Amino acid sequence: MDKLGIIAGSGALPRLVAEACAAREQGYVIVQFEGIELEWAAGEPLISAAFEKPGKLFKSLKKAGVTTVTMGGAMGRPRLNPLRFDATGLRLAPVVMKAMKSGDNSTLGIVAALFEAEGFTVIGVHEAMPELLATVGILTKAQPSDEDRADADRAGDIVAALGAVDVGQGAVVAQGLCLGLESIQGTDAMLRFVAKTPARLPDKRGSKGVLLKRPKPGQDMRLDMPAIGPETFTAAAAAGLAGVVVQAGKTLVLGREETLARADEFGLFLWVR
């Protein structure tokens, strides 16, 4: 098998990919950028990288025998120091700096293109671990009500509008009212905002609200695919929601058994449609 380079952000996803590679005896190397804490990576094959030194990274990956790369986990936009650029960084600086001012999808697309230009194949995490993809159905004991379904439709329309301008992949809607929008801060920050913001809902006995996540229109599914996990349901419960809605075949479920157990623990539904 090809040796896989795992461009690792924070969270469980890159660890899961590394564990899957080890289980099937596929060679892999983890790329850890400055400022990204990877406590789980001690003892793993590791390449330390700086955003300003792409040339050094490309050479290190090729020396390690990596032919294919994937990107997983959360990674904020770095503050680049022009004084630290290597020769390749200087050459790519105009493209990279322009990308930094774009939406996440555009930025990641440009990053992927840079790897491809160096001869690497870029794949999505779902290609490395297809078992993580969400499958159609209501996977929990709790079931969405008709009101929840209407809120999910409304949230879907909102996320489609957000995605058209490359802003976010999620929204929270209750009783037809939008309580939160995902932006560069991410889903967890949106749910914390909803939890701290008293909802002025028309009907105190009506629907409590749903979190909907879905890809942006035209999104490159190799890059930044929507993902949920146990902590998504912890945060959704803290925000007082009834459940979570995601798109089948285009959402990653991290730690499926634990995620469903957490949803059942809080009495929330997971609807994959």
Q: Residue-wise pLDDT tens for the chain (273 aa)?
A: 589 999 999 889 999 999 999 999 999 999 999 989 999 999 999 999 998 999 999 999 999 999 999 998 887 777 888 889 999 988 988 877 776 666 555 567 778 888 999 999 999 999 999 999 999 999 999 999 999 999 999 999 999 998 888 788 999 999 999 999 998 888 999 999 999 987 778 888 889 999 999 998 877 888 878 999 999 999 999 999 999 999 999 999 999 999 999 999 999 999 999
* Together in a domain, 99 and 208: no
* Together in a domain, 229 and 146: yes
DSSP string, 77-119: PP---GGG--HHHHHHHHHHHHHTTS-HHHHHHHHHHHHHHTT
Classify 136 as helix, strand or coil: coil
* Together in a domain, 143 and 268: yes
* Together in a domain, 164 and 119: no
Cα separations in angstroms, 259 against 5, 42, 207: 27, 26, 23
* Together in a domain, 150 and 217: yes
Domain with 233, as residue range(s), is: 133-272
CATH of residue 82's domain is 3.40.50.20
Q: How many domains does the chain have?
A: 2
* Together in a domain, 111 and 190: no
CATH of residue 258's domain is 3.40.140.80
d(C-alpha 80, C-alpha 82), whole Å: 6
pLDDT tens for residues 121-133?
A: 999 999 999 999 9
The one-letter code for the residue type at 94 is P
- Helix segments in the chain, DSSP class H: 13-23, 54-63, 87-99, 104-117, 125-128, 146-164, 187-196, 230-238, 256-266
Q: Is 24 exposed, middle or buried (0-12, 13-18, 19+ CB in 10 A)?
A: exposed
pLDDT tens for residues 139-185?
A: 999 999 999 999 999 999 999 998 888 788 999 999 999 999 998 88
* Together in a domain, 120 and 197: no
pLDDT tens for residues 43-54?
A: 999 999 998 999
* Together in a domain, 149 and 124: no
Rg (CA), the chain: 20
* Together in a domain, 25 and 120: yes
* Together in a domain, 40 and 113: yes
